[in-house]
Amino acid sequence: MAKKVAKKTTRKKATKKAPVKKTAAKAGAKRPSFKISGAANAGLVQTGGLFYKHEPNTTVMACVIPRMDPEGLENGLIWNTQSLHYGPDNAKFKNPDNPERTIAPGCLQEHGDGDCYICNVADWLKQNDDFRLKALGEQLAPSQQIFCQVWIFDQTKKEWYGPRLYKSGGCSKTIYKGINSLLNMAEQMGSAPFCDPDNGQPIALIREGSTMNDTRYSVQQTGQPMPYDKMDPDWLSKAITDVDAKLDLRVMDINEQKQLLFQTLPDLPWEDIEREVG
């Protein structure tokens, strides 16, 4: 009679579980409520080391961060705007506190009570018959800067880094319009916008061409949902909450603006300006 052979049993080796990485949300950080408004973002631009430089002929994968300041959170904004005054020939003014440094003071129409002395002088110069004064008035007019806060995917290191500010100016206002179009589409469909930190997704910012005449910009959704905690568990604590302070925005009162203009442009017809402008 054949002997029964006992079956060998093999024990599975215990596998070590990978440590669970705590996200900002799981760590108990207080998260603000993000309600992004397409209409509010679309109304910001007037018609007619921290900054990310978009190189020619490249596609950038970016996660757009909602504004973290009280005004941005209340109105559902992603865009930051600044209106700055540059000096003659679009060179910044000399800093009165430190002549070795330059400044571009903020326009009081956007960053103050609405009455901006530099704007008033610029308007007066633009109405002058002297073409040189007229040209100077155009140079002194405020220049609007618009940018959003992003995390960028490094294709070489295969990792996200940020925050950076992506400036949408000049030709790249196409980026601004494309992003707002995506926001409006999400609002109309009742779906989460791409910049929703919990249910959003990266977008592709595309730059084709290298010169002013042949450069084209476009925006595309990737279609790959990704919570921002997965992008960077600490994004909430790293995000810039006060962009103006981070960029050291200088806002002068009217008397300081007068002094700055007089020091920079002493040869202007100041008697006429004082009589007409004040």
Q: How far apart are CA 243 and CA 112, in angstroms?
A: 16
Whether 219 and 203 have beta carbons less than 8 Å apart is answered as yes
In which band, very low, low, confident or very high, does the pLDDT at 241 lie, cut at 50, 70 and 90?
Answer: very high
What is residue 29's predicted lDDT score, i.e. its pLDDT? 58
pLDDT of 36 above 80:
no
pLDDT in tens, 157-215: 999 999 999 987 654 678 899 999 999 999 999 999 999 999 999 999 999 988 878 88
87-135 pLDDT, tens digit each: 887 778 888 888 888 899 999 999 998 899 999 999 999 999 999 999 9
pTM: 0.75
User: What pLDDT, on a 0 to 100 scale, did the predictor assign at position 94?
Assistant: 84
pLDDT of 39: 56
Which pLDDT score is estimated for 232? 96
Q: Is the pLDDT of residue 46 over 50?
A: no
Q: 35 or 137: which carries more pLDDT confidence?
A: 137
The angle formed by the CA atoms of residues 199, 245 and 84, to the nearest 5 degrees, is 100
